[in-house]
Each structure stands twice: as structure tokens, then as C-alpha cells.
């Protein structure tokens, strides 16, 4: 005895329903329903092309388009019922289309396979995600550049090995992240350019015998061109890998900034404050103000990097063309982009919200003999001393200051002259942290005038890109 196949969309070859566990592992509708907007866009473009090529009638194409528009409205309104028995978003949309317009719905899948259909939908989704990410990254850059301009002269310690190194300004520090994010945007833009080819029309793997116009569907969907090889068209997921790689690097940048915010907020540093809007309290310790938003932003990189690594593992051993393994490309990709969007919004909000403690930063900038390099440079410049000798002399002076428990600018001239007799009182002009940062006027340096100029340049660039100037 046989039972009726569960999925009438593909069940002609089968006499029995799949096992319950087979349905469970096979169905993707629980997550790929996110592709519904892209699926409908692709189907409308495909139907219009089929009619233009004379493969289906124009009346059928109009009915298909009207039905798809109604389905889109139902999905937007939250009234569309997705069925797990129909496996995926493509089958759900097509089944509902049949309910709405009858037999004409069956003509939509002419010259098309779920293989090129899902490849097209997924490319459209990733492209849409990249466009949204670029705008969000610009918002973070805006927040950073505005804060940098406001604090172009606010002195803070610069660190290497998390040890005081040389004084910088808070604005200069923030602009480093503006530059990082610019590279992130460049990576996403490069990924978008490479993904912007249409797989639609590749069919299952070999193309189709119908006289389709792939240039038409590519243009209708905003692609630059159709993909040149049908095997590649249905089996390529480089576009998702590349976007996830860019997302991972971006998340790492935000994680580094989040880590700094966490450190800066500790009482031991006390460099910045966040308001109640981006902090939480403790259930037992009433004095606590926890930087949870920064900590969660720092943690999200794990999910995003895992999505990239997961898809690498899925793809690494797959022969051409399509394998069901590739169903695993979507869920983690959706989650990664969702996580990144959340991180970007949180970071933009925190950056705008945080207020630096200029006094604490200034005090910390003067500790740890952070102007020692300025002293060495002075010895080279004024006494014509070779830098390696100046480095040694400066080290001896730092040792003398350390023995007396004073900062460099508090060490007496006689103590310095005991190490190097040619040193004059003019040396004190370079030993304050303010003079140190003012002297760093080389391109890309931390001099306040440099920082203010660069922050204004970035703000103008961002405004121009948005069409505001």
C-alpha cells in the first residue's frame, strides 16, 4: 500500500511520503522565509521575461505578477501562512500563487529550477544586506568623526602592549576607527561588485533549451550581467563567503573598540562615562554601572566569525553543481548580518553617548614617562646626537626620574645634565604632554590641528556621499 506524496510540487516520481525525520532535516522554511521579498522579485522578473520571449502568454504573466503582488502584501501584513510540508519559501510562494490564480501559476517555473532560483534570491539578499550595512557603517563613522572633532585637543595616553607609550588625543584615537571602517566599507563594496551577476537562467545546472533572455532578467533585478557559466551560477557561494569575511573583519574592529570602552569605563582608568541609556545595573550590587552594550558588541564577533567558518566548511568538499549541503548557507548568514546590524546600531549610539573625562585622561597621559621619545627626539634635533645614542641617554634619564619618583618634566636640569652635560633648559619645552601632541604634525599624526582638519574632512566626505552638500 502506498500513501500520497506529501509535497505535490515535486512528488510525481515518488509513491510515498518522506519519513517524519526526513521532513524535519529537509525543510528550510523556518529560516528561508526571510528570502520571500527577493523570491517574489526574482519571480516577477522571470515571468515578465518569459512573456517577452513568447514562452508564456502575456495574460498569464500579468496574472502571475498580480498574484505575486498579493502574496507580497500578505507576507508584509503577516497573514501569509507558511507550510513546513512545502519545505521552502519557493514552494510556499508557488503553492499560494496556484491557490490565487489557478493553472497559470504552473507556468512560472518554466525554464527555471529551484537551484538557480535560490542562488538568485540569496544573491539579492546578500546584496540588500550589504547596502544596509554600508549605510549603518557610515552612521558609525559620522558619530566617531563628530566626537573626534569635539575632542581634537583632548589629551590621552597612547598605548602599546597596553602600557603608556606616547601622548595622543582622544580625537586622534577615534579617527583610527573611522579609517578602519572606511576599509570595511571598501571590502563590502568590492564584495558587492563581484556578486552583482545574475544566476537566474542557469536552471538546474546546464542552462535551458527555452529561448530565454538572461540579459533582461539580470537588468530587471539590478545585476550588471548574467553569470557566464550555468554550473558556476547554481553552485557558487563565494559572494556569501566574501560578505561574511568582510562582516567578520568589521565585527573585529567593533570588538576592539568595545573592549576599549569596557577598559576605559573601569574605575582604574575612568576615561569615559556612558549614561543610563547604554549601561545596566546589578541585581545585588547597587553601586554597579555595567557596560553591557559594549560587552555584547564585543561578543557578537564570535557569531559572525562562526558563520564565515561554518560556510567555509560546508563548501570545502562539494563537487559541482548543487548539493543539499548548500541549504546550510542561509541560516547562519542571516544571523551574522542581523548580529552585525545590531552591533553597528549599538556602537553608533554608544559613541554619541559617551563623554570623556579629560582630566583623568590628561593625568594618565603624563604617567609612565610617555614623553621620553620627545626627549630623545630633542637630543637628536638640538644636540645632533645619533638616535641610538639619544635612546640610551634618554633611558638613563628616565631611570634617574624613576629613582626620584618624579615625571620627566619634574626632574631637575642638573639631574639631566648629570647624564648629558649639553642638555639645556630648552628641553622642558618638549616634556609636557600638551607640547608633545602639538609637535606631532606629520601627516597622520596626533597634533590637534591635524586631528581637527581630518575630522572635518571626514564629515564633509560623509555628508557629500549622502547628498547633503
Question: Does 161 qualify as catalytic in the annotation?
Answer: yes
**Cβ(216)–Cβ(52) below 8 Å:** yes
Burial class (CB in 10 A: 0-12, 13-18, 19+), 285: exposed
Distance (Å, whole) CA 278 – CA 262:
12
Instruction: List all residues 6 or more positions away from 269 whose beta carbon is below 8 Å from its beta carbon.
Output: 263, 360, 364
Q: Which helix (H) or strand (E) holds 160?
A: strand 155-160
Q: Could you say which of 59, 83, 275, 282 is catalytic?
A: 282
Q: Which of 243, 232, 242 is nearest to 322 (CA)?
A: 232
**Cβ(431)–Cβ(374) below 8 Å:** yes
Q: Which helix (H) or strand (E) holds 122?
A: helix 114-150
**Cβ(193)–Cβ(241) below 8 Å:** no
| C-alpha of 11 from chain center | 42
Number of C-beta neighbours around residue 418 at 10 A: 13
CA distances from 177 to 142, 164, 182 (A): 11, 20, 8
Q: Which helix (H) or strand (E) holds 356?
A: strand 355-356
Q: Could you say which of 161, 209, 283, 442 is catalytic?
A: 161
Say how many residues make up the chain: 469
| C-alpha of 54 from chain center | 44
Runs of H (alpha helix) within 266-367: 292-315, 331-353, 358-365
Angle at 336 between CA 335 and CA 337, to 5 degrees: 95
Q: Concatenate the DSSP letters of all residues of 219-230 into one string.
A: HHTT-SEE-S-H
| C-alpha of 26 from chain center | 31
Residue holding cell 546589578? 282
Q: Which of 96, 149, 175 is nearest to 445 (CA)?
A: 175
Question: Does 282 qualify as catalytic in the annotation?
Answer: yes
**Cβ(230)–Cβ(208) below 8 Å:** no
Q: Provide the annotated active-site residues.
A: 161, 282
Amino acid at each position: 500500500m502506498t500513501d500520497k506524496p506529501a509535497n505535490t510540487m515535486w512528488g510525481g516520481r515518488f509513491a510515498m511520503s518522506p519519513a517524519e525525520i526526513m521532513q524535519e532535516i529537509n525543510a528550510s522554511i523556518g529560516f528561508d522565509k526571510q528570502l520571500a521579498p527577493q523570491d517574489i522579485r526574482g519571480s516577477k522578473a522571470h515571468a515578465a521575461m518569459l512573456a517577452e520571449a513568447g514562452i508564456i502568454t502575456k495574460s498569464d504573466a500579468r496574472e502571475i505578477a498580480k498574484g505575486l503582488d498579493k502574496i507580497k502584501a500578505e507576507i508584509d501584513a503577516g497573514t501569509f501562512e507558511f507550510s513546513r510540508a512545502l519545505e521552502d519559501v519557493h514552494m510556499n510562494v508557488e503553492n499560494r500563487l496556484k491557490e490565487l490564480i489557478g493553472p497559470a501559476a504552473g507556468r512560472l517555473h518554466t525554464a527555471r529550477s529551484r537551484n538557480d532560483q535560490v542562488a538568485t534570491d540569496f544573491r539579492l539578499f546578500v546584496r540588500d544586506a550589504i547596502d544596509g550595512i554600508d549605510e549603518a557603517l557610515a552612521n558609525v563613522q559620522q558619530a566617531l568623526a563628530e566626537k573626534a572633532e569635539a575632542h581634537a585637543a583632548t589629551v590621552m595616553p597612547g598605548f602599546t602592549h597596553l602600557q603608556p607609550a606616547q601622548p595622543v588625543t582622544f580625537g586622534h584615537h577615534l579617527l583610527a576607527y573611522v579609517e578602519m571602517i572606511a576599509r570595511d566599507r571598501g571590502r563590502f563594496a568590492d564584495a558587492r561588485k563581484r556578486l552583482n551577476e545574475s544566476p537566474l537562467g542557469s536552471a538546474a545546472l546546464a542552462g535551458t533549451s527555452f529561448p530565454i533572455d538572461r540579459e533582461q532578467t539580470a537588468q530587471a533585478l539590478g545585476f550588471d550581467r548574467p553569470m557566464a557559466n550555468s554550473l558556476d551560477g547554481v553552485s557558487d557561494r563565494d559572494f556569501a563567503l566574501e560578505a561574511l569575511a568582510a562582516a567578520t573583519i568589521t565585527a573585529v574592529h567593533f570588538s576592539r573598540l568595545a573592549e576599549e570602552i569596557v577598559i576605559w569605563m573601569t574605575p582604574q582608568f575612568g576615561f569615559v562615562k556612558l549614561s543610563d541609556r547604554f549601561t545596566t545595573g546589578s541585581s545585588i550590587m547597587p553601586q554597579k554601572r555595567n557596560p553591557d552594550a559594549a560587552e555584547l558588541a564585543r561578543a557578537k564577533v564570535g557569531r559572525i566569525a562562526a558563520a564565515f567558518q561554518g560556510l567555509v566548511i560546508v563548501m570545502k568538499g562539494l563537487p559541482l553543481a548543487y548539493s543539499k549541503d548548500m541549504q546550510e548557507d542561509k541560516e547562519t548568514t542571516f544571523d551574522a548580518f542581523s548580529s552585525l546590524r545590531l552591533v553597528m546600531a549599538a556602537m553608533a549610539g554608544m559613541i554619541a553617548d559617551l563623554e570623556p573625562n579629560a582630566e583623568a585622561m590628561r593625568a594618565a597621559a603624563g604617567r609612565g614617562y610617555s614623553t621620553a621619545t620627545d626627549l630623545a627626539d630633542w637630543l637628536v634635533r638640538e644636540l645632533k646626537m645619533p638616535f641610538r645614542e639619544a635612546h640610551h641617554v634618554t633611558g638613563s634619564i628616565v631611570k634617574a626620574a624613576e629613582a626620584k619618583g618624579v615625571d620627566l618634566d619634574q626632574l631637575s636640569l642638573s639631574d639631566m645634565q648629570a647624564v648629558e652635560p649639553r642638555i639645556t633648559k630648552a628641553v622642558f619645552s618638549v616634556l609636557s604632554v600638551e607640547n608633545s601632541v602639538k609637535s606631532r604634525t606629520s601627516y597622520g599624526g596626533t597634533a590637534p590641528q591635524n586631528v581637527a582638519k581630518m575630522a572635518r574632512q571626514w564629515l564633509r566626505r560623509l555628508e557629500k556621499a549622502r547628498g547633503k552638500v
